[in-house]
Structure 1
Amino acid sequence: MSLRIIVVLAVLTGVTGSPGVTIRPEADSADTTAHPNSIPETVEATEIFGQQQQEVPVEEEAEEAVMEAEEAVMATGELNPNHYPARRAAKVVQHYLNTHYGSPFRLFGLHNVQSGNAEDVADSGRKYQLEISVQEIISNTTENCSAEVLFLSGDQQRSPRVQVSCEELLKSNTKAQEEALFQKYKMNQSLLSAQNLPDSYGHIEPDNKPLWHLGIVASSSVMLKESTENTLFNMAQVANITQLATENEQLKFDCHILLHEMVSQEIIHWKLLFTWSPPEGVNVLQMEQLPHCHHCEKPPNTN
Structure 2
Amino acid sequence: MSLRIIVVLAVLTGISGSPSVTVGPEADSADTRAHPNSVPETVEKTEILGQQEVIVQEKAEENVMATGELNINHYPARRAAHVVQHYLNTLYGSPYRLLQLHKIHRGNAEDVSDSERKYELEISVQELIGNTTGKCSAEILFPRGERQRSPQVQASCEELLKINTKAQEEALYQQYKMNSGLLSAQNLPDSYGHIEPDMKPFWHLSIVAASFVMLNESSENTLYNMAQVANITQLATENDQLKFDCHILLHEMVSQEIIHWKLLFTWSPPDGVKVLQMEQLPHRHEGEIPPNTN
Taking the aligned partners of 1:262 and 1:19, their CA distance within structure 2 comes to 45
Equivalence for 1:159: 150
Q: Which runs of 5+ in 2 are unaligned?
A: 25-39
Flag the 1:54–1:251 CA change in 2: closer, same or farther, 3 A: closer
Find the residue that maps to 1:220 and give its secondary structure: helix
Equivalence for 1:8: 6
Taking the aligned partners of 1:156 and 1:182, their CA distance within structure 2 comes to 40
Contact 1:237 1:258 in 2 (8 A): yes
In structure 2, which of residues 184, 188, 213 is the aligned counterpart of residue 193 of structure 1? 184
Taking the aligned partners of 1:291 and 1:193, their CA distance within structure 2 comes to 23
Amino acid at match of 2:90: T
1:221 aligns to 2:212 (yes or no): yes
Amino acid at match of 1:158: R
- 1:12 is displaced (CA, Å) by 3.3
In structure 1, which of residues 10, 13, 18 is the aligned counterpart of residue 15 of structure 2? 18
Contact 1:44 1:82 in 2 (8 A): no
Cα deviation per residue 1:108-164 (whole Å; 9 max; x = unaligned)?
A: 000111221110012541000111110011110011211111012233222211111
Taking the aligned partners of 2:65 and 2:182, their CA distance within structure 1 comes to 53
Identity of aligned residues (%): 71
TM-score, length basis structure 1: 0.82
Amino acid at match of 1:173: N
1:1-303 correspondence runs (5 A) = 2=1, 4=2, 7-14=5-12, 17-18=14-15, 41-43=41-43, 50-52=51-53, 69=61, 72-296=63-287
Taking the aligned partners of 1:195 and 1:97, their CA distance within structure 2 comes to 26
TM-score, length basis structure 2: 0.84
List, as ranges, runs of 4+ consecutive aligned residues in structure 1 with deviation greater than 6 Å.
21-27
TM-align CA RMSD: 3.0
Aligned length: 274
Contact 2:96 2:169 in 1 (8 A): yes
Cα deviation per residue 1:156-186 (whole Å; 9 max; x = unaligned)?
A: 2222111111101122111121111101000
- 1:211 is displaced (CA, Å) by 0.8
Q: Which runs of 5+ in 1 are unaligned?
A: 28-39
Contact 1:106 1:138 in 2 (8 A): yes
Contact 1:258 1:270 in 2 (8 A): yes
Contact 1:233 1:259 in 2 (8 A): yes
Q: Bigger relative contact order, structure 1 or 2, given CA contacts below 8 A and separation 6+? A: 1
Amino acid at match of 1:292: H
Cα deviation per residue 1:244-279 (whole Å; 9 max; x = unaligned)?
A: 000000110000000000000000000000000011
